[in-house]
Structure 1
Amino acid sequence: MNRTIVALVAALGFADCGPAWAGWPEDKPIEVVVGFAPGGGTDVMARKLLPFVERTLDGKAKFVVLNKPGAGGEIAFASIARAAPDAYLIGVVNVPGYNFLPMTRKTQYSTDDIRLVARAVEDPNVVVVPADSQFQNLPDVVAALRSKPGSVTFGHNGAGTNGHLAIRMLAAAAKVEPNEISYRGTAAQRTDLLGGHLQVGMISLSEIPELHGTNKGPLRVIAILSKQRFPALPNVPTAEEAGFPVISTAERGFAVPKGVSDEIVRKLEAGIAEGLRNPEYLAGSPGDEPVIAFLPGAEWQKRLDAMSDALRPFAEQMRASDQK
């Protein structure tokens, strides 16, 4: 009798507890894993954008942000890769760290186990110093390092992150050796910059909205690692203008475990696109508004594939350096 009941239940589909039966996203909160500490650009972007994505899903979704900082985002990326393919745990991925880390060492995740949903922003790196710093520009920093290698502390948000990679690229272009200091997030970098414990920080443009337009405050931007000057900081020269042709941007977007259905991915992708266009979101996110750069997941993946080829030589250098 029991076998007959089980067979009947299975035939009717009641035994299927997958995404279709769960009625995604109706029945429970969706956890969104962020690989950096609260207060940084990734965390702020997710917390500000997701309420607008909720609205696009007929108000049935409820996103809950979980911060899992550490290992340059690896802990969060591994959480995405290992999650059940029901889209009740998704995450934010940070490029190039997401695709660069596995090139430098064995990681707890593989990009083959993760599916990109949509890119939200493309955010250039900026070099920041305290307002009263002795360094007035990027050549000043380079000159100090050429005079005494390792004499300038340079912060980033973890090995393999975009900031770390940007420092390595800048050091190679300028032929200098900065004293690299790793942090668990931009908020910690900012605290040490303001407290006089860190001389130079490598963060992203969206993380300093209070400086946009004026570049006046307790921090000061001395260079931007973009191809051309940015409207938000029109008086800040590019690294290339300062004599160091380095371009580095942080891309942030959303991803799910590989097995999530196409239908759910399409819903999320459309919701993110609509949320990024919402005038209320744009008005309330002055840091993100200048760097919004939506890309569908499939297009973003193609971009990452090409980017990974370009980054491979830096990964080889980093592996060789770490083995010394």
Structure 2
Amino acid sequence: MTRRYSVFRTLAAACLVTALAPTAHAAWPEDQPIEVVVGFAPGGGTDLMARSLAPFIQKSLGGHARVVVINKPGASGEIANAHVARAKPDGYTLAIVNAPGFVFLPLSKKTQYKVDDFTLLARVVNDPTVLVAKREAKYKTLSDAVQTLKKDPKSLSFGYNGAGTNGHLALVQLQKIADVQANDVPFKGTAESKTALLGGHVDYAFVSAAETPELRNGTGNLKAVVQFGEQRSKALPHVPTATEVGYQMTMSSERGFAAPKGLPVDIAARLQKAIADSIADPEFIKAASNDAPVLSYLPGAEWQASLNKQQAALQALADQMPKQ
């Protein structure tokens, strides 16, 4: 009886020690997937960029890291941004943010997030906005479209990816500079805009250069009318800029990674390095042929400083628009 009691006491003590010992967890980023949240529908430039980069970031982080892409489209990216802003800053929830919309939306209306709710990690691309039409479009140049709108306001329709996006702001600028009124039609993503254009539901669409590989390889039924970069993009060297054809304006789409504010410095540094390494990986450049001509890496702090410089111009655009 004494021996059995002794064995029982030994087993009980062992169980108690096990219960009191801290549970062992794998360290970040190995104990759960890293979610990269995209604020636009699948198939657009933002979504494709995120999906092409995800496996390379995963490889760079090493170990058992897993990176998955989740789409939360709507409200020009606000839904996705708000979701990430509310997430725990532990490195497991990241956003792909799209400027200028990321900065512009809180300037133009009350939003569910603020820019300072985030820590920017890295810019990946700086992609010029492009106005596209069907090859058989009646008005084939920007000047043709402007002259038509002057004679008949709102007679031509222009699709874009929602309020505050690069396409929308390009249209706002164009209407002001050219003193015209267009029929503007927002969509949830570039795939929707292109489908509407090809189906004859809109006359033009604002897209980003990387989102339209058919413009570079001559396939498909779309043509580039004009691009809105400061200079001709490597992606579309034969397409004139708006400035070249007499309209002094620029508008690009910057896309990159951000995390909820408060992300630990060491995790932020690892993520930034993983993104930088991935963009420089020859295999990624080969796989991401659409983005390759517009890759433009900036570390998070430098990207934030660049966006800060753009804020005054974006505020001026916001002041022109009805408050919501």
- TM-score, normalised via structure 1 length: 0.91
**Partner residue, 2:41:** 37
- State the partner residue of 1:314: 317
Please say if 1:196 is aligned against 2:223. no
**Letter paired with 1:40:** G
The one-letter code matched in structure 1 to 2:225 is I
What's the counterpart of residue 239 of structure 1?
242
Shift of 1:210: 2.3
Pick aligned residue for 2:112 from 108, 111, 135: 108
Find the counterpart in structure 2 of residue 151 from structure 1. 155
Instruction: Identify the residue that residue 268 of structure 1 maps to in structure 2.
Output: 271
Q: Name the CA distance, whole Å, in 2 between partners of 1:167 and 1:231.
A: 23
Is contact 2:40–2:188 with CA below 8 Å preserved after alignment?
A: yes
Q: How many equivalent residue pairs?
A: 307
Local SS of the residue matching 2:184: strand
* Higher Cα radius of gyration: 2
SS in 1 for 2:321: helix
Q: Which amino acid aligns with 1:48?
A: S
Given that 2:234 and 2:294 are in contact with CA atoms closer than 8 Å, whether structure 1 keeps it comes out as no
| Alignment check: 8 A CA contact 1:215 1:233 kept | no
The code of the aligned residue for 1:250 comes to S
Distance 2:233 2:179 in 1: 26
Matched residue type, 2:253: A
Match of 1:219 in 2: 222
Match of 1:137 in 2: 141
Q: CA deviation at 1:310?
A: 2.0
Moved segments of 4+, more than 2 Å: 214-217
Structure 2: how far apart are the matches of 1:145 and 1:286? Answer: 36
Identify the residue that residue 180 of structure 1 maps to in structure 2: 184
State, as a whole percentage, how many aligned pairs show the same letter: 48
- Cα distance between partner residues in 1 of 2:202 and 2:89: 42
Contact 2:132 2:223 in 1 (8 A): yes
2:127 counterpart SS class = strand
Match of 2:59? 55
Counterpart CA distance in 1 for 2:48 and 2:125 is 12
Q: Which amino acid aligns with 2:153?
A: P
* Runs of 5+ unmatched residues, structure 1: none
Whole-angstrom distance in 2 between the partners of 1:274 and 1:223: 33
| Aligned twin of 2:78 | 74
Distance 1:256 1:230 in 2: 29
1:26 equivalenced with 2:36 (yes/no): no
How far 1:47 moved relative to its partner?
Answer: 0.1
Tell me by how many angstroms 1:263 deviates. 0.5
Is residue 288 of structure 2 the alignment partner of residue 293 of structure 1? no
The offset of 1:230, in angstroms, is 2.0
**How far does the alpha carbon of each residue in 1:66-117 deviate from its partner, in whole angstroms, 9 at most, with x for none?**
1001101000110111001111111100001001100000000111111100
Q: Deviations over 1:155-200 (max 9, x none)?
A: 1100111111111011111111110000000000111111111100
Please say if residues 215 and 221 of structure 1, whose CA atoms lie closer than 8 Å, have aligned partners that are also in contact. Answer: no
Letter in 2 for 1:84: K
